[in-house]
Amino acid sequence: MSNPVAAPNPTRAIFLLSLAGFASQAMVRVSDSLLPQIATDLTVTIGAASIVIISYGLAHGTVQLFAGEIGDRFGKYYSVAGLSAIAAAATVLCGLAASLSELVVYRLLCGLAAGCIIPLAMAYIGDVVPYDQRQPVLARYLTGQISGLLFGQVAGGVLGDLFGWRNVFFILGGIFALAAAALIAELAVNPATRASSARAERKGGLIAEYRIVLSSPWARFITICVFVEAALLYAVLSFIGADLHLRFGLSFTMVGLVVGCFAIGGLIYTFAVRMLVNRLGQIGLVITGGALVSIGFLTLSFQPVWWLAPIATTLIGLGFYMVHNTFQTNATQMAPQARATALAIFSSALYMGITAGVAAAAPVVDRFTAVPVFLTSAIGFPLLCMVFARGLLNKRRAEMQAPSIAD
């Protein structure tokens, strides 16, 4: 297992990882606002066009299962730098796609390249930041991801309106390239990133590490919960923009701005995270976050006017990140002796959940509109949060009864 050799809070190194996370998350959510444009340009339905989301999520989720092996073989920081460069090329190809099938192939390639960026970055943070300091650091790292979401969703609408959806992919390709160059430069000047990226000693190989992770009931519980979380919420975000465009006739620019309020809610969380954690604790964060998400989706389902949507989407973003950051914090410690593999499984479950959720919702949206999907999330997400909160409470009780057991 690699030794923590970097400073307790390697700010610049983590900031540059956030830049790569920014590009990765922008690519995940850019299709939310572009979906109506892509469907119109390529003469397909919204449901059919959603395959560009499914292909990216499927590749993103599958390749993450091998993130631990990639990180240990090539080094976590080295891997993020190289994968960012590959993602840059694949994203440019998305802008050059001549058909839906071509776009799906290039999105799949980009998902394969970008899929390991976030779990490897989280594993790097887990290696160099002590657990008791980790939630605020992860929240700051989340700022890059959330800003990427905001850029992807807003840019998809605003820049798509101004320059067309293809040019949006060219811009994202440039951001991936910038991230790759910055990470390579950091590797050149910061020995700590190279040292912490040294190959770990594996005991029994990748399969053995999967057994270590999946033999833990807590790890299995978190993995299942994050899959359901993604299917109930992250996947459903893909259809908010299309619903607003079809129901209220909003322009693509306005769709992008409204959908981008999800990321605004996330940024509010990152700025208030210390206060919220201190006042609510992890269980309080999960329960409150579930309630906010439910209120948001109920508002989207029954709103008589479009201007309620920004408020609802902001509430959904705030609530989601209250819950998801708690998932992330627990995921970093669910198998410390195989952290990179554990976080790869966690991230893979997230994107597999997105893929499953979009695939399940697409025919419903085409036939009945997005409202039934919104209502499902309004009911299902807080139920999930109650289950997870109960799990946190049981874990806390078990630790109090057996204080000698390591984290």
The per-residue pLDDT for range 378-395, each reduced to its tens digit, is 999 999 999 999 988 887
Interior angle at CA 372, CA 385 and CA 285, nearest 5? 15
Region 274-298: what's the mean pLDDT? 91
- Give how far the C-alpha of residue 78 lies from the chain's centroid of Cα atoms, to the nearest Å: 21
What is the signed CA dihedral for 359, 50, 48, 228, rounded to 10 degrees?
Answer: 10
Is-contact 108 128, C-beta < 8 A?
no
For 295, other C-beta atoms within 10 Å of its C-beta total 17
Integer distance in angstroms from the first to the last C-alpha of the chain? 16
- The domains of the chain are located at 11-398
Q: What is the pTM of this model?
A: 0.73
The per-residue pLDDT for range 174-208, each reduced to its tens digit, is 999 999 999 998 888 877 676 654 444 555 567 77
The per-residue pLDDT for range 215-244, each reduced to its tens digit, is 888 889 999 999 999 999 877 887 888 888
List Cα–Cα distances, 306 to 50, 178, 250, in angstroms: 23, 37, 8
The per-residue pLDDT for range 72-113, each reduced to its tens digit, is 788 888 889 999 999 999 999 999 998 899 999 999 999 999
Nearest to 182, CA basis, from 56, 22, 8? 22
Helix orientation angle between 51-63 and 339-368, rounded to the nearest 10 degrees: 170
Is the pLDDT at 124 greater than 70, yes or no?
yes
Superfamily covering domain 11-398: MFS general substrate transporter like domains (1.20.1250.20)
Residue bearing tokens 């101004």:
162
Interior angle at CA 386, CA 267 and CA 348, nearest 5? 60
